Structure formats: C-alpha cells, structure tokens
Amino acid sequence: MQFSLSIATAILAATASALPILEIRQTVGTTANEFTSGGCKDVVLLYARGTSQSGNMGEEPGPALGNALKTRLGAARVAVQGVSYSASLLGNLNPGGAPASEATSFRTLIGQVASQCPNARIVVSGYSQGGALVHRAVEGTTAAVSARIAAGVTFGDTQKQQDGGRIPGIDASKSLIICNTGDRVCEGTLIITSAHSGYGARVGEAVDFIAARV
C-alpha cells in the first residue's frame, strides 16, 4: 500500500509538471506593429511615445495601455500600432510642440486605418511630445476621418494648456487629457519634474474612457 501510494504520488507529480502553465503574458512591448503587419481589428489603437523613448511605443505608459485595452476588450479585437517618429528633444521646440512633417505622417496613418478598416473604431493616444503629435495630426484630418476617431487620450500632454484642455479636431466628449498633479508640462512649460513620470498607474482611467466609446 505504501509502495502504491508512492507510485501514485510520483505519477501525479509527473503529470502536473507536464501540464502547460497558464499565465498572462504581455503582448505589447516597446514596439508594436499590429496594424501594419496584421491588418484591421475591431479597435485600432495608434500610439505615439514620449521624447527619447524606445521603439515606437516607448516604455511607459504605451505598452501598459495596449495590454490593458486588450485585457478589457479582448486581444483578438484590438490592434496596437506604434507611431514611428523621431521623438527627439528638439522636436518639442516646434510650433505646436511637434514637427509638422511627423504630424503629417501620423495623419496619413490615421487616414490609412480609416480607409482600409471601414468598420474599425480608431483610438489615438500619446505621451508627452507624443501627445502633442496627436494634437497636430488630428487637427488636420478631414471631417470624414475625424468622425472615425472614437477616442483620443493623452498623458502628460505638452499641449494641454495651449489647446484649451482638449484635442483639436475631435469632439470634446471623445477627448481625455490625463495629467499628474504637479506635472508642469501640462501647464504650458517644458520643465520636467518627477510628476511627468508614473503614468502607467493611470492607464486604468484611459481604458475606462476608451471602452465606453468603442
């Protein structure tokens, strides 16, 4: 009996070790090209990283936003696409807070999604200079393309004060600018303080806002 119990225990242990380990894995990192490489989904998130951040999504809060949106809406329904632009320090000094040529490229990308994915809900988002890029790209879209944007969310937005606390070119009800208390870039300056970081902790607010509009 003791021998049989030992065998049974060994079999159970072996079986357990052979079972797949189920865990939640991040699907969005510092680079995401799910629209350009995979095409349309129900929701397409276009995200512009902050100054000097890596890849086309950056370290924070872009990947966290993409992953949280997939968790909320279902990964199969969401395509996350980072916006390729220089994100240089000097880019902040341009009129409107971002280079005009790169805003044009972002605007073209928005138009491509609108054209190629007629049933998709488009979400635009960005952090810091990426937020400014959202402003400058969206404000120049046609009325038809603008109407396809379901939500615009920015974090630590360098153009919040300059543009009256909203993203030009889309209805105010679709626009959310998230700023930490004490983040001076949200007050119309380019003074960076510790309050300009930590926006990953506020991704939940953005996801709630987006989910209610897509």
Which residues are identified as catalytic?
128, 183, 196
Burial category of 195 from C-beta neighbours within 10 Å (exposed 0-12, middle 13-18, buried 19 and up): middle
How distant, in Å, are the alpha carbons of 13, 16, 112, 118, 163 from that of 205? 43, 39, 28, 27, 21
Helix then strand then coil, % of the chain, to nearest 5: 45, 15, 40
Q: What does the alpha-carbon distance between residue 101 and residue 196 come to, in Å, rounded to a whole number?
A: 26
Sole residue written with tokens 């805003």: 103
Residue pair 100/94 in contact (Cβ under 8 Å)? The answer is yes
Interacting residues of 138 by C-beta distance below 8 A, sequence separation 6+: 107, 110, 124, 146, 149, 152, 167, 168, 169, 170
What values do phi and psi take at 190, rounded to 5?
A: -110, 30
SS3 of residue 146 by DSSP: helix
